[in-house]
Amino acid sequence: MTFLYETLGVPFGFLLKLIYQSVGFHNYAISIILLTLFSRLIMTPSTISQQKGMAKTQRLQPKIRRIQAKFAGDQRRIQEETSALYQREGYNPMSAGCAPMAVQFLLLFGLIGAIYYPLSNFLFIDDTEIKLLTDAVAKLNLGSASNTSHLAELLVIQHIDSLQGIAGVSQATYDAIKAIDFNFFGLFSLGDVPANYKDIGVHGAKAVAIWMIPAFSFLSSLASGVYSQIKQKQTNPSMAKNPAMGCMTFGMPIFSLWIVVKYPVGIGIYWIASSVFGLLSTIIIGHLFSPKKMIAKLMVDETVERRSRENNLKLVAAEKAKTNS
């Protein structure tokens, strides 16, 4: 897992820095949101492909029902005939759903790497200087957090004022670290971990603000999942009854809650933005590429293709007749 964070963190850190310096208003939180929007735009063709796949499935439902009626009671034969139907139609019911999920997890790992290791993957500070700074922060009296190696670079940023004058660390490095706007509009640091702020009585309003991130992450992910489930029931009732669909609808919000509680809140900012942009994308694309429109287009395309084949057969037959005569 650490390998994924470190490997994917480099390109994502570079992208974040590019956004941070150009259109991110030199604010790390805004840069994360813009990177998420950019990633969602990249995934738009895949989302449209998903929508087309749903329309294709709906279009095939009458044929699937005929197969189920013909081979009632023989589940193995139904599966074989259904698979053969999908193959003839050139449709893979799993491909459209897996690709966006795989991309989302790659984005998640890359972003975790960029947020966990900002000195390495965002500021690209020399490894020797990072080692000196992380060793020094480990000696500060920071409780259990100072013993958590993957939080070391975040702790350096949060306690940089206490790490001045370390031999081997240049002033330019200190200035670069201090220049990062790692705060979320002054409420908390993006490196803060909600699990470390369980006592509201001790941490006060800061803890409340931090715990709002996991709450919104869960709710936004749930809203996106429920909406997708509702649309699935409308377009493909048989698929909506699949237990795996319900597991995804409620499993992803729970997973997002666990991730955001355990990891820095910067991940929560990403997850909220991803869910919100994803929901908006689904609504807009669902309107522009509604199943009814897609099915109508499929019917037209199939009619054109069938007539083209018929015309080709007629031409071949005419050529043969002409040759024989």
* Overall domain count for the chain: 3
Q: pLDDT (tens digit, 9 = 90+) per residue, 113-122? A: 888 889 999 9
The model's confidence at residue 177, banded by pLDDT at 50, 70 and 90, is very high
Q: Give per-residue pLDDT as tens, 213-227.
A: 999 999 999 999 899
Strand locations in the chain (E): none
Tell whether 72 and 206 lie within a shared domain. yes
Note whether 56 and 151 are same-domain residues. Answer: no
Q: Of 179, 194, 225, which residue sits at a domain end?
A: 179
Residues 172 and 317 in one domain: no
Q: Are residues 11 and 51 in the same domain?
A: yes
Name the nearest CA neighbour of 284 among 104, 99, 51: 51
Residue range of the domain that includes 136: 124-179
Average pLDDT, the chain: 84
Shared-domain flag, residues 269 and 283 = yes
- Please give the share of the chain, as a percent, with pLDDT higher than 70: 90
Among 7, 59, 15, 57, smallest CA distance to 38 is for 15
- The pLDDT tens digits of the residues spanning 100-141 come to 667 767 877 887 888 888 999 999 999 999 999 999 988 887
Tell me: do 229 and 112 sit in the same domain. yes
Q: Does residue 128 sit in helix, strand or coil?
A: helix
Q: Are 187 and 33 in contact (CB under 8 A)?
A: no
Same domain for 131 and 63: no
Q: Identify the pLDDT of residue 142.
A: 63
Instruction: Please name the residues in contact with 172: beta carbons below 8 A apart, sequence gap of 6 or more.
Output: none
Kindly state the tokens that stand for 70.
């013909």
Q: Do 81 and 36 lie in a common domain? A: yes
Is residue 241's pLDDT more than 70?
Answer: no
The partner residues of 183 in beta bridges, in order of sequence, read 189
Res 17: pLDDT = 92
Q: Tell me, yes or no, whether 186 and 44 share the same domain.
A: yes
Backbone φ and ψ for 126, nearest 5 degrees, come out as -60, 140
Total residue length of the chain: 325
If asked whether residues 246 and 198 sit together in one domain, one would say yes
Residues 118 and 235 in one domain: yes
Same domain for 85 and 42, yes or no, is: yes
Write out pLDDT tens, residues 276-298: 998 999 899 888 887 777 778 77
Q: Of 212, 182, 179, nearest to 194 (Cα)?
A: 212
